[in-house]
């Protein structure tokens, strides 16, 4: 799933591979998928994008957006994006296929759910999640300092668990269940810990862990549980996931629970409840 680190990595890779390429052909919704979401009529994607040159790609939270001379392709967190050179075989099943004049292609597929939206400038601005992602300050930006972090501690959030605070309410768009596990381990905070019980020093540790852990994930090329634009696994070794048995910090057993619609992983010794 696309979260902040993978979105940043893939956006950078797209800028290195498809920037200035001209679009020759677009096929959308070729392989029907109940939870693949499009904007408007996907059969119109070709006419919107045909002949346009890719200008740049950016990331917003856990989203990736390509600008092709004023027509935008925007991808949500459940979309797998792959680049194929001219001599590579493209998969037959896909939810989006974009061919370039040089024979290379960009393919988008959806496993569980995901959005592959194509629109003119401003046409998608009514989407609440899109607006929140564009408006949000990236946790890796200099503007996202400790004082800014404290402004996220709204009354509703203070009543939540650490997981709920970090991953819901669009406080930090693109920060989901995948990356928050390591953030909380590094901060020494249990995912079920209520935010209103955190001491000032613990809030500071959470902030420092948030910045440092996300930076490590980006520098590593994404998490080793996710693939990049070329199908390669990321280089950041996840500390807590379904594959973790022992805590990397103390060697104790890792606990797994179902919580808030997903799984949480934690070390009873290193993360205070």
Q: What is the DSSP string of 85-137?
A: -TTSPPPS--SEEEEETTS-EEEEEESS-EEEEEEETTTTTT-HHHHHHHHSP
**pLDDT number for residue 157:** 85
In this structure, what token pair is assigned to residue 111? 């496993």
| CB of 163 closer than 8 Å to CB of 171 | no
CA nearest to 120, candidates 40, 178, 198: 40
Distance CA(69)–CA(136), nearest Å, equals 24
R_g of the chain, CA atoms, integer Å: 20
Centre a 10 Å sphere on the Cβ of residue 197 and count the other Cβ atoms it contains.
12
In this structure, what token pair is assigned to residue 241? 């996931």
In this structure, what token pair is assigned to residue 255? 């606990």
Place of tokens 């392709």: 73
Question: HSE (CB half, 13 Å, CA atoms) of 65?
Answer: 19
**pLDDT number for residue 242:** 87
In this structure, what token pair is assigned to residue 213? 């852990």
The partner residues of 96 in beta bridges, in order of sequence, read 28, 108
**pLDDT number for residue 59:** 97
Residues near 81 by Cβ (< 8 Å), separated by ≥ 6?
Answer: 10, 14, 64, 75, 106, 107, 108, 229
**pLDDT number for residue 261:** 87
DSSP 241: S
**pLDDT number for residue 1:** 82
| CB of 204 closer than 8 Å to CB of 146 | yes
The angle subtended at Cα 127 by Cα 4 and Cα 107, nearest 5°, is: 55
The partner residues of 272 in beta bridges, in order of sequence, read 189
The angle subtended at Cα 59 by Cα 135 and Cα 220, nearest 5°, is: 125
Give Cα 52 distance to the centre of its chain.
26
**pLDDT number for residue 273:** 81
pLDDT tens string, the chain, 273 residues long: the values are: 899 999 999 999 999 999 999 999 999 999 999 999 999 999 999 999 999 999 999 999 999 999 999 999 999 989 999 999 999 999 999 999 999 999 999 999 998 999 999 999 999 999 998 999 999 999 999 999 999 999 999 888 889 999 999 998 889 999 999 999 999 999 999 999 999 999 999 999 999 999 999 999 999 999 999 999 999 999 999 999 988 999 999 998 999 999 998 999 999 999 978
**pLDDT number for residue 216:** 98
């Amino acid at each position: 799933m696309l979260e902040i680190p993978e979105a940043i990595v893939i956006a950078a890779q797209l800028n290195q591979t498809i920037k200035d390429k001209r679009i020759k052909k677009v096929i959308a919704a070729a392989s029907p998928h109940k939870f693949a979401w499009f904007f408007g009529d996907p059969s119109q994607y070709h006419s919107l994008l045909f002949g346009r040159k890719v200008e740049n790609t950016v990331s917003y939270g856990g989203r990736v957006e390509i600008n092709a001379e004023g027509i935008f392709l925007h991808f949500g967190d459940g979309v797998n994006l792959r680049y194929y050179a001219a001599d590579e075989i493209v998969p037959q099943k896909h939810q989006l296929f974009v061919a370039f004049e040089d024979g290379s292609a960009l393919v988008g597929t959806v496993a569980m759910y995901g959005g592959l939206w194509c629109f003119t400038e401003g046409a998608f601005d009514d989407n609440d999640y899109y607006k929140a992602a564009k408006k949000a300050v990236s946790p890796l930006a200099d503007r996202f300092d400790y004082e800014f972090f404290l402004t996220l501690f709204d009354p509703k959030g203070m009543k939540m668990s650490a997981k709920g605070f970090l991953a819901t309410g669009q406080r930090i768009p693109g920060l989901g269940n995948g990356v928050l596990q390591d953030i909380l381990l590094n901060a020494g905070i249990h995912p079920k810990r209520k935010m209103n019980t955190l001491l000032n020093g613990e809030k500071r540790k959470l902030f420092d862990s948030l910045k440092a852990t996300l930076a490590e994930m980006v520098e590593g090329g994404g998490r080793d549980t996710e693939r990049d634009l070329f199908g390669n696994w990321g280089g950041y070794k996840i500390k807590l996931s379904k594959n973790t048995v022992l805590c990397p910090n103390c060697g104790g057993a890792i606990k797994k629970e179902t919580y808030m619609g997903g799984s949480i992983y934690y070390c009873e010794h290193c993360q205070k409840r």
